Amino acid sequence: MISTAIDVLTAEGGGMPPLVEPGAAGSLALPLVLVIALPALGAAVLLLGGRRTDAWGHLLGTATVVGSFVCSLWLFLGILGRPEDERQITQSLWTWFSAGEWTVDLGLLYDPLSALFLLLITGVGALIHVYSIGYMEHDVRRRRFFAYLNLFVAAMLVLVLSSDYVGVFLGWEGVGLASYLLIGFWQHKPSAAAAAKKAFVINRVGDIGLSLGVGLIFFTFHTTSFDEVSALTSEASAGVMTAIGLLLLLAACGKSAQFPLQSWLLDAMEGPTPVSALIHAATMVTAGVYLIVRSQFVFEYTDAARTAVAVIGTITLLMGAWIGCAKDDIKKTLAGSTMSQIGYMVLAAGLGVAGYAYAIFHLVAHGAFKANMFLGAGSVMHGTNDDVDMRHYGALQKAMPVTFITFAMGYLAIIGFPGFSGFWSKDRIIETALAENLVLGLCALLGAGVTGFYMTRLMLMTFFGEKRWEDDVHPHESPKVMTIPLIVLAALSVFGGIMIAGDWIKKFLAPVTGEGEAHHLPVSPLVISLVVTVVVAIGVAVAWMLFGRREIPREAPTDVSPFTRAGRHDLYGDAINDVLVVGPSKQLTAGLATFDRAVVDGGAMGTASAIGGLSAVARRVQNGFVRSYALALLGGAALVLLALVAVSFA
Amino acid sequence: MSIPVLSVLLLLPILGSVVVALLPARAAATAPKTVALGFSLVTLVLGVGLAVAYEPTGGEQFVEEVEWIGVFGAHYALALDGVGLALVLLTCILTPVVMLASWHDGDEGRWGAKGMFAWILALQGLSLGVFLAVDVFLFYVFFEATLIPVYFLVAGYGGPERVRAAVKFLLWSLAGGLVMLASVVGLYAVSSAAGEPTYLVRELAELDIDTWAGRWMFLGFFIAFAIKAPMFPVHTWLPDTTQQATPGTSVLLVSVLDKVGTFGMIRFCLEIFPEASVWATPVVVVLAIFSILYGALMAIGSSDIMRLIAYTSVSHFGFIVLGIFVMNSQGLSGANLYMFNHGLSTAALFLIGGYLVKRRGSQRIEDFGGVEKVAPVLAGLFLVAGLSSLALPGLSPFVSELLVIVGAFVWSPWAGAVAVLGIVLAAVYVLWLYQRTMTGPVAPGVTGMRDLGVREIGAVAPLFALIVLLGFYPQPLLDVINPAVDDTMSQVGTTDPQPSVTEGEAP
């Protein structure tokens, strides 16, 4: 049923998906290189400079990202004035490697898609750098924190600017490394170190998809650059396109914490909160969505892979929302919510031409409001001695007014309160999903209601009700260096919807994502908006009945429904991994160790002894037997050398 | 007559070895070290000079050829080609690095620092001979001769069980050498039956060898090289040896000498026995993939740092052999580049691991914890070395590993799909090792551990500089490797498959 729906869409949308045909960068080459070079340089100086840079490292780190943001604006304005077909530019740097027919250039591709990512990454990135100056003030390793943040920004920019799949891989694992370093930033805590490793290893499982995807793309087209591949995909078989699409989806699942590779994201909350805001909410975890939208010239030729994308997105958006409902840890609630919102983006990307632009719209809007809420959560933790348990909060709206107001803007945006950014972006996705496939659309609608529920629960438990503070906690508002970024992000949460005015974002992205007409629903979009709003309102109301009117116990109740219990355990993701993968692997490695010693080594050595009595030789080592043997060898070699000389001169 | 530069290159360290050994006992304690380091640096300059002078058009250059034992057809024949050049450079770079990093490691050894530095130089000279020889007999002589310095380096310097480890190494290598000797003799028989006896690789490659004779001789060479490389199931001598040897010796053994195995597969197995190589490919590919996974799993299960690193090499050598035997441009270029990059990254791991072990006085992983807190530079460099071992993009091993995986994928998607599991296992063995040793609360024996000193950082700095540089710009090396790969492929008679979709093709 799904594929028929999409078939009709392709037929309706008509035409070929747009090709990647960039022009020369010309005068924009300078900001295009600088945008990456600045944070990369910052990271290098801070890492190699060592303690000498402790005093001013955080300032340099922030300055480089602000500079990078200026370059992003410069580029954006640079292409905005151009005709639509001249908005793709490229700049080749150097040949990375070549072997046989395969040449990979390190090149940059800037187009409307990367333009939006650049603004998001450097804009939110700069705000989070500023915020971190305050948040990490008392950490002795603050300079190193900024070095890693800069490294992350540089790698993320490489990811979205590369003109070749292998170049994307460079950024892809670069952000993975930065994420690893930052999740484990407080690595004296065993839980942080373990979470960091888990994130990297699970991402590596996703990287299997990218490695083999690169292999299959090269095998099929003898090139891996976007422009050349996009020109050839129309001629490849559907089977190959499906295989490539599924491999890229596997990669996206790892990086974007989509089912079944989602379990690392909740643990990743071990990192400092600005990291959760920047990497594990606003930017890195959306890289999977980027990869799929960027590869539209692959996915447009494979209904099966696109359907898989949409289904994975839908499963994850429900799973994330479910987990979000059950957590008492404010960061983990937000992490479940992030999974869920990225699920919406992936669902939209799986809807093809009709959905790509909305996936990116929601991605940008979510980047702002989720960063806003994560930083708000950080501000709350800052005021409560780093407690993350919402059961120990309550009534914080008076103690932390700025945090409360800004957080509330993010809250209204994510639940889709009419007029706020999330209202526009989520609505479009649900609408398109309903038009393409009723089941997926209804799931997305249900997710919106659940979002209303868990976010209201979070708000009520944190800011309203009675004080449930620990005795030594005296909540206070955070310093300006932290609240100003919150205010900016709150403003973006309110007004972010402006991007859709006059379908601007759709038209702007059209050179990359193509233009397709969605199915028209029998009912007007206004009715759907109304329905969505009512569903959200029900979710909010239920939350208010359960958490607003009743007293919240300081200890989590244990007599909860199986639903809540499953949610608290991340839907048993870790348990399943343990049973299916970790346990058997441990047994295997333990078994192999014995096998290696007893069978492989023992067998070979045993055979040798049996044949030549070599064990007797080994026992005579102490008597110098082997040494004399080796000396004889040496003597022999010397004789050979002498013979050589003699023969040459004879 | 022009200067025989290749002879100079390999005789220089051997001369140095003799000079160091003959230094009077009353000379200053640092004298043998300084003299040895000097010789290795001059050799490095000469090696770099050769690399610069090497014409990127490919082929054998700086050829020296003198008839040696006429009745055998053996020649003293040396030449440099793209495959050899990368390994010659690697040898020249690693020798001074190892000397500087192991500055004090020989002081307490059986034959003192003088002995150790002399043996290192001897090993360097003989290794260069192995990579430069283009005569099978000469190669065999060098191949066997390298065992002597390694034996003495292992038996004289290292852990309590070192003598046992040295004997095990020697027995395995001698066994491999013996099997190869049979094939070397066989080549004499074949070439003399075809006319004049000869051991020149160039002439042997043109011989028309009987199918089964070729296959038997191929096996002789291959087994010896598989032991050297080392591949499953003939790898068990390696972890035992590196567990006992000093880190410096392990570097010379694993980063340089073990490359003789994979180097030999390209130069001798593929070029002299192309038919047999193609014949053996399915089995070798399966063994290589098995080595990748087996080595990685054994590394995960290791409780000793030095054994763990040895097993990572079993896995990496699996990748190299896989790249060689899929016999396409990506696989072969990747394998050649991998040999160089693996040398750098494994050297970095062994040396930093060595610094760590020396400070704690134990190699057991469970004796560590929280090192990052007390020695951040050491921990940071260990992490970078580990990341290069797991082939993180941006560090040099990535390009070679990706080329091998893609080459394997082009050969058969299933080969690529199974081999790629190695990248997940690599993440586990590297990051779990880091987690257990460097993170968490500071372990009792780790408290007060010194961070790295200037000499220690200086010794490994060139490795890290190269790992990053070649991560972003490996093309200079590929420029000399690619023509050599073309030569190998035309000798074997294989070509790259065409893409299934090309421009202008009808849909």
Q: Which residue has the tokens 């990743």?
A: A268
pLDDT exceeds 80 at position A640: no
% of chain A with per-residue pLDDT over 70: 90
Strand partners, A164: A225
CB contact under 8 A, A601 and B236: yes
Smallest Cβ–Cβ distance between B496 and the set A100, A166, A626 belongs to A100
- Residues from chain B that touch A174, judged by Cβ atoms under 8 A, are 393-394
Q: Is residue B419 part of a domain?
A: yes
The reply to whether A23 touches chain B by the CB within 8 Å rule is no
Q: Which residues contact A10 (CB under 8 A, 6 or more apart)?
A: A300, A303, A352, A353, A516
Q: Which of B192, B167, B263 is nearest to B224 (CA)?
A: B263
- Residues from chain A that touch B141, judged by Cβ atoms under 8 A, are 637, 640
- Work out the number of other CB atoms within 10 angstroms of the CB of residue A649: 7
Tell me the average pLDDT of chain A: 85
**Enclosing domain of residue B435:** 279-494
Q: Is residue B489 part of a domain?
A: yes
- Predicted confidence band at A83 (pLDDT cuts at 50, 70, 90)? confident
The reply to whether A271 touches chain B by the CB within 8 Å rule is no
Q: Specify the pLDDT at position A292.
A: 95
% of chain B with per-residue pLDDT over 70: 99
Q: Specify the pLDDT at position B1.
A: 47
Q: Structure pTM?
A: 0.91
B377/A592: higher pLDDT: B377
Mean pLDDT is lowest, of A76-85, A536-545, A608-617, B411-420, for A608-617
- Residues from chain B that touch A604, judged by Cβ atoms under 8 A, are 233-234, 236
- Residues from chain A that touch B234, judged by Cβ atoms under 8 A, are 604
Q: Specify the pLDDT at position A562.
A: 81
The pair phi, psi for residue B295, each rounded to 5°, is -60, -40
The reply to whether A201 touches chain B by the CB within 8 Å rule is yes
Smallest Cβ–Cβ distance between A634 and the set B148, B406, B410 belongs to B148
The reply to whether A601 touches chain B by the CB within 8 Å rule is yes
Q: Specify the pLDDT at position A639.
A: 58
Range A592-604 average pLDDT: 78
- Predicted confidence band at A607 (pLDDT cuts at 50, 70, 90)? low
- Predicted confidence band at A258 (pLDDT cuts at 50, 70, 90)? very high
- pLDDT (tens digit, 0 to 9) for every residue of chain B, 507 residues total? 478 899 999 999 999 999 998 888 787 788 889 999 999 999 999 999 999 999 888 888 898 888 888 778 888 999 999 899 999 999 999 999 999 999 888 888 788 888 899 999 999 999 999 999 999 999 999 999 999 899 999 988 988 888 888 888 888 888 888 888 888 888 888 888 888 888 888 888 888 888 888 899 999 999 999 999 889 888 888 898 999 899 999 999 999 999 999 999 999 999 999 999 999 999 999 999 999 999 999 999 888 999 999 999 999 999 999 999 999 999 999 999 999 999 999 999 999 999 999 999 889 999 998 899 899 999 999 999 999 999 999 999 999 999 999 999 999 999 999 999 999 999 999 999 999 999 999 888 888 889 989 999 999 999 999 999 999 999 999 999 999 998 888 888 888 888 877 654 433
Q: Which residues contact B401 (CB under 8 A, 6 or more apart)?
A: B319, B334, B338, B391, B423
Q: Is residue B69 part of a domain?
A: no
CB contact under 8 A, A589 and B300: yes
Q: Specify the pLDDT at position A5.
A: 40
- Best of A97, A244, A581 to disrupt the B interface (most B CBs within 10 Å) is A97
- Best of A36, A596, A625, A642 to disrupt the B interface (most B CBs within 10 Å) is A596
CB contact under 8 A, B435 and A193: yes
In order, the DSSP letters of B51-112 are HHHS-TT-S-EEEEEEEEETTTTEEEEEEE-HHHHHHHHHHHHHHHHHHHHTTTTTTTSTTH
Q: Is residue B458 part of a domain?
A: yes
Smallest Cβ–Cβ distance between B392 and the set A102, A173, A214 belongs to A173
A469-509 confidence digits (pLDDT tens): 888 888 888 888 888 999 999 999 999 888 888 788 888 88
Q: Specify the pLDDT at position A543.
A: 87
Smallest Cβ–Cβ distance between B441 and the set A188, A603, A647 belongs to A188
Smallest Cβ–Cβ distance between B298 and the set A98, A236, A596 belongs to A596
B389-438 confidence digits (pLDDT tens): 999 999 999 999 999 999 999 999 999 999 999 999 999 999 999 999 99
Strand partners, B77: B65
- Residues from chain A that touch B236, judged by Cβ atoms under 8 A, are 596, 600-601, 604-605
Q: Is residue B114 part of a domain?
A: no
The pair phi, psi for residue A182, each rounded to 5°, is -85, -35
| Pure H helices in A233-272 | 238-255, 263-267
To the nearest 10°, report the CA torsion of A489, A493, A495, A501. 130
Smallest Cβ–Cβ distance between A644 and the set B68, B300, B420 belongs to B68
- Predicted confidence band at A455 (pLDDT cuts at 50, 70, 90)? very high
Q: Which residues contact A398 (CB under 8 A, 6 or more apart)?
A: none
Provide the domain count of chain B: 1
Q: Is residue B338 part of a domain?
A: yes
Q: Specify the pLDDT at position A343.
A: 95
A87-133 confidence digits (pLDDT tens): 888 999 999 999 988 999 999 999 999 999 999 999 999 999 999 99
Query: Residues B276, B218: contact at Cβ < 8 Å?
Result: yes
- Residues from chain A that touch B406, judged by Cβ atoms under 8 A, are 102, 214-215, 218-219
pLDDT exceeds 90 at position A514: no
Query: Residues A359, A412: contact at Cβ < 8 Å?
Result: no
- Residues from chain A that touch B499, judged by Cβ atoms under 8 A, are 101, 219-222
Size of interface A-B (CB pairs under 8 A): 219
Q: Is residue B13 part of a domain?
A: no
Q: What is the largest CA-CA distance in chain B?
A: 82
Q: CA-to-CA distance for B220 and B215, rounded, in angstroms?
A: 9
Strand partners, A225: A164
Q: Is residue B11 part of a domain?
A: no
A299-318 confidence digits (pLDDT tens): 999 999 999 999 999 999 99
